[in-house]
Amino acid sequence: MPPKKRNTVVSQSKEPKPIAESVSQDKKESTELSFKKHRDKETEFVTLCKSLHVTDLVCDHAWTLWKTIQDSVEELEDSQKSLWGSCLFATVTDMDTASFTLTQLLKAVSLNVKQFLALVRKMDVNLDTISTKVNSALSHLEKKYDVMLALYQRFEKTCKSVFASVSENKEKETIRTCWTMFLLAKGRALQMEDDLVISFQLLLCTLEFCIKRCPPDLLQPLYKSAISKVQSPPGRTARRSQSKAKSRLPESEVDLQLLKTLCQENDCNSEEVKNVYQTSFSAFLDSLDLSGSAHLPQGKGLDQQYQEHYLKSRDFDGRLFLDGDETVLVPKVDMSQVERTPKKMSDEDSTLIPPQTPIRAAMTSIQQLRGDLTSSGDQPSTNLATYFKNCTVDPTQDVVKRLETFGETFSQRFGQAVGPHCVALGRQRFNLGVKLYYKIMEAMLKSEEKRLSVQNFSKLLNDSTFHTSLLACALEVVMATYGESSFKTGGYNQGGGDATERNMCFPWILDVVELTAFDFYKVIESFIKADPTLSKDIVKHLETCENLIMERIAWRTGSPLFDLLRQEHEGETAEQVETTANFSQPLQHNHTAADLYLSPVRPGLRVLPPETAASPNTQASSQPPTQPVSQPARPLKSNSLSLFYKKLYRLAYTRLKMLCSYLLSSHPELEPIIWTLFQHTLQHEHELMRDRHLDQLMMCAMYAICKVKTVDLRFKTIVTAYKNMPNTSQDTFKHVLTTDGNYDSIIVFYNLVFMQKLKTNILQYASTRPPTLSPIPQIPRSPYKFPNSPLRVPVSSNVYISPMKSPRMSPGMMTPRSRMLVSIGEPFGLINRFQKINQMVNSGDRSFKRSLDLGSTPKPLKRLRFDMDGQDEGDGSKSGGDSTLIQKLTEMTSTRSRMQEQKMKEDAESRRE
């Protein structure tokens, strides 16, 4: 829950008391919740509020919320008390007046974290019941819990290999001290407590500190022998030197041999952990006056200090993992999937497939990235330096100065986001990004040299936007590899929510280097093609970045996209940025970063009608030879704008087709009509996209066409289906820019803006002479799917085929152990393993159909609260009961299952092509 500055009373009891204000007794009595003031509410609800020390105002607001959703949640199987707790959570989050922690609330309503998060989300029956602020808080809590669970499971496993069961009580006491010390270190050192990698590295630091201070008889042989023999506990001299230089822990106090052993056992880079120890962890030790101490800290003192941190954070108590408390337990099925003991591939092969835990996956990705950059330096290679020297203007000095400036900026911003002592870690990330930046630049130039047969790239290499984009992309890859940039909690949020929650999620890096999203988009495809060693997850991450840019980020006010569109449409020479005649043609991915950053330098790259289209490398011949000399030359076409719109149209149609398949399968004739209106809007009314989302125009186009075609499809039905599409956010229909900087629901946007702007065009589709339909774009195979990516067998989600990898990327490292894998060229085992896979493939289709039959049926929403006074839409139309479309939606099986089925078919078709 979002923190609020206030004084807290630290309780030393095992079960913390509710947070209370440090105010006078008279003040307490005046704010104490009174049963007399709440006679209109159920007694049990008021009792719950009183036990959580909420104010009268919170009690009133939570009760109002409960009465709002009461009728809609009658069919939920959850108890009233659990729902009341959810209403209280939503209320105090919106009001930022929490008087209780999440753990206190969970214990009061007898739920665990996962159950509670799911319940609050289920409460959003009217789609605007839960605010975007509450949605953000839920996402933040969920990610923090997932990270904490993964860390504890690894901690528990590591402790079994570290500590010997000589004295169970002593072992438990040491483990409790170590875990509590880690929780406190994470809370104090990191502002971004859901950073899995740095948190895990802090855990290893804490283990190193505790292990070397344990009695030898409490350690297993491996760790007993790992402690350096020459190292003795720090004495007075060390303590005196520590007082002189408390900002950095002397290297002698870090047992490097022990640290390396811990890192080797946990697949972690020891240099990175050592860096974390000497910066963040040493600062934490200083704050507790533990630097130089030869003994473990007192558990009671650590417990008391963590208690204070936990009460301030107001989320869950991490100490409860040690006790197996029900509020932090995960369902047994989930636990077995995460930590299940791996099985042998065969009796003859003793190789184990390691469990694909979140930590192991993160460590594997980092190892792969660092391995790929082993031969790359933080200075230009000989070949790259030669390219620089071949330029008419040598860019070397500008490149160096630019990196120095961005290096300082990035490190400082990294420290601000992650933690005050993490600037050095930011520099470490930046140095990796520089290595990748040089590597990709060299690969791009080699490709351009081969394509154009030239060696002088002065124009490109002296373009600061190109260099900044390439560096930003390299840094985004590094950030994504370390898990510091993801889309689970930040990528698709548009408005609302706490800015600190998003932290370093894309497009954070664009703000750091002051780069526009449209300029960044130009480098993505060439970057991916230049580095075939990029993992499938990273390629997917960059593809998602590209989609985000096309959907909304490139349409923000101030984007150069609007300048290009204005130039393209002004005057008598106005023409389409992408001719509709080209829709049915395959999307040719032959544009390079050089083409896009230097566009529109080359006239020959102009998009011409199909009958006179010029080849990509044509130069002066792109103009008709019979054109009079006196005739003004046609303005140059922007390659970057043309390619952007090609991709935009294909993304837009793909998403529209998916939504139509759920809602309008009985009206297939409407899809091309909706697409025509949608495409017309993007081409001729692109100002409607300013500070908005592509999907907002899509849903409005669908509703408008159904309205004029007298097909009963209401907005609440549209958003119900849209909510279950991949890569969507509820902000898209809850938080839409209307007029004068105001935000409202998508219905208000439709009535006030969309319909007013396009009313004439929309009504044409009801006439006897409707507009000509736009051609349907050809949806090509993604350019980012490479031969070295594992391919799923179409009829099963558990069987993959992949080319043989190097030992560094062995199947055991890249594939979860829950999947069987056949690697041609490696020993596999007995023939029955192949037979099992055959059975899996053969039965895959039937089992998939069974899963569809048994899927839960999504029900249409009874009432959309922004449809006022019983009206379905803002135009005043009444809802006359459930329509056939809504009944159809009711009878649908799980939307996500249908999406998966469609995706599998598309994958199969693309492979056949």
Q: Which helix (H) or strand (E) holds 136?
A: helix 132-162
Q: What is the dihedral of CA 548, 553, 555, 560, to 10 degrees?
A: -120
**Burial (0-12, 13-18, 19+ Cβ within 10 Å), 394:** middle
β partners of residue 764: none
Per-residue pLDDT, averaged over 272-287, amounts to 92
Helix (H) or strand (E) holding 792: strand 791-792
Q: Could you give the CA distance from residue 109 to residue 116 in angstroms, rounded to a whole number? A: 9
Identify the pLDDT of residue 799: 61
Q: State residue 583's pLDDT score.
A: 55
CA distances 348 to 5, 616, 805, 830, 834, Å, are 62, 56, 22, 8, 15
DSSP label of 325: -
What is the mean predicted confidence (pLDDT) over 575-589? 53
Dihedral of alpha carbons 582, 587, 591, 595, sign = positive
β-strand pairing of 799-801 with 791-792: antiparallel
Which is it for the CA torsion 479, 483, 488, 494, positive or negative?
negative
Please list, in sequence order, all residues whose beta carbon lies within 8 angstroms of the beta carbon of residue 857, skipping any fewer than 6 positions away. Answer: 890, 891, 892, 893, 894
- Domains of the chain (ranges; CATH) run 43-130 (1.10.472.10), 141-229+253-323 (1.10.472.140), 358-551 (1.10.472.10), 639-766 (1.10.472.10)
CB proximity list for 681: less than 8 A, separation 6 or greater: 688, 697, 701, 758
Per-residue pLDDT of 511-540, as tens digits, reads: 999 999 999 999 999 999 999 999 999 999
pLDDT, one tens digit per residue, over 807-860 is 444 444 444 443 444 444 444 445 565 666 566 555 544 433 333 333 333 444
Helices 132-162, 113-122: axis angle to 10 degrees equals 160
> Are 595 and 612 in contact, with CB atoms under 8 Å apart?
no
Q: Is pLDDT of 720 > 60?
A: yes
419 exposed, middle or buried (CB, 10 Å; 0-12, 13-18, 19+)? buried
R_g over Cα of the chain: 30
Give the pTM: 0.79
Q: β-strand 791-792 against 743-744: which pairing, if any?
A: unpaired
Structure tokens at 838: 């055959």
For residue 567, the model assigns a pLDDT of 87
Burial 209-231 (b: 16+ CB within 10 A, else e): bbbbbbeeebbeeebeebbeeee
Name residues whose C-beta falls within 8 Å of residue 418's C-beta, 6 or more positions apart in sequence. 190, 191, 192, 195, 198, 425, 426, 484, 503, 504
Instruction: Measure the CA–CA gap between 576 and 638, rounded to whole angstroms.
Output: 12
Which tokens is 681 given? 């809007």
Dihedral angle of Cα 690, 692, 696, 697, to the nearest 10 degrees: 10
Q: Where does the pLDDT of residue 403 fall: very low under 50, low under 70, confident under 90, or very high at 90 and above?
A: very high
Predicted confidence (pLDDT) per residue in 23-81, tens digit? 333 334 445 777 888 889 999 999 999 999 999 999 999 999 999 888 776 656 668 89
Amino acid at position 233, single letter: P
Looking at residues 617-628, what average pLDDT do you find?
35
Q: CA 673: distance to chain centroid?
A: 34
Measuring CA to CA, which residue among 457, 440, 439 is closest to residue 448?
Answer: 457
Distance CA 572, CA 267 (A): 64
Helix (H, G, I), strand (E, B) or coil at 617: coil
Q: Judge whether residue 461 has pLDDT over 50.
A: yes
For residue 358, pLDDT beyond 60? yes
Range name among 486-495, 624-633, 768-777 with the lowest pLDDT average: 624-633
The one-letter amino acid at 671: E
Tell me what pLDDT residue 901 has: 61
Q: First vs last Cα of the chain: how many Å apart?
A: 50
User: Which residue did the predictor score with more confidence, 448 or 787?
Assistant: 448
The pLDDT of residue 430: 97
Average pLDDT value for residue range 884-896: 47
**Three-class SS of residue 78?**
coil
The pLDDT value given to residue 493: 43
Interval 106-136: pLDDT, tens: 999 999 999 999 999 888 876 678 888 898 8
Cα distance between residue 913 and residue 908, in whole Å:
9
**Rounded to the nearest 5 degrees, what angle is found at the Cα of 780, between the Cα atoms of 777 and 786?**
160
CA distance 568 to 550: 18
Residue 227 confidence (pLDDT):
85
Cis amide bond preceding 507, omega within 30? yes
* pLDDT beyond 60 at 264: yes
Report residue 897's pLDDT band, with 50, 70 and 90 as the boundaries.
low
The rounded distance, in Å, linking the Cα atoms of 269 and 257 is 13
Q: Which residue has the higher pLDDT, 279 or 807?
A: 279
Q: Which residues pair with 352 in a beta bridge?
A: 344
Looking at residue 364, its pLDDT comes to 92
Residue 729's pLDDT band (cuts 50, 70, 90)? confident
Helix (H) or strand (E) holding 60: helix 56-69
Residue type, 13: S
What's the pLDDT at 241? Answer: 43
Residue 602: predicted pLDDT: 35
Confidence grade of residue 486 (pLDDT, cut at 50, 70, 90): confident
In the prediction, which pLDDT does 244 show?
Answer: 41
Strand partners, 792: 800
Distances (CA, A) of 96 to 58, 312, 683: 10, 13, 43
352-361, 417-426, 699-708 — most confident range: 699-708
Which candidate, 486, 373, 378, 275, places its Cα nearest to that of 808? 373
CA angle 161, 163, 167 (to 5 degrees): 140
Whole-Å CA distances, 369 to 62, 359, 362, 479, 511 = 49, 16, 11, 11, 24
**Is the Cβ–Cβ distance between 126 and 867 less than 8 Å?**
no
Sign of CA dihedral 305, 309, 312, 317: negative
- Work out the mean pLDDT of the chain and round it to a whole number: 77
**pLDDT classification of 724: cutoffs 50, 70, 90:** confident
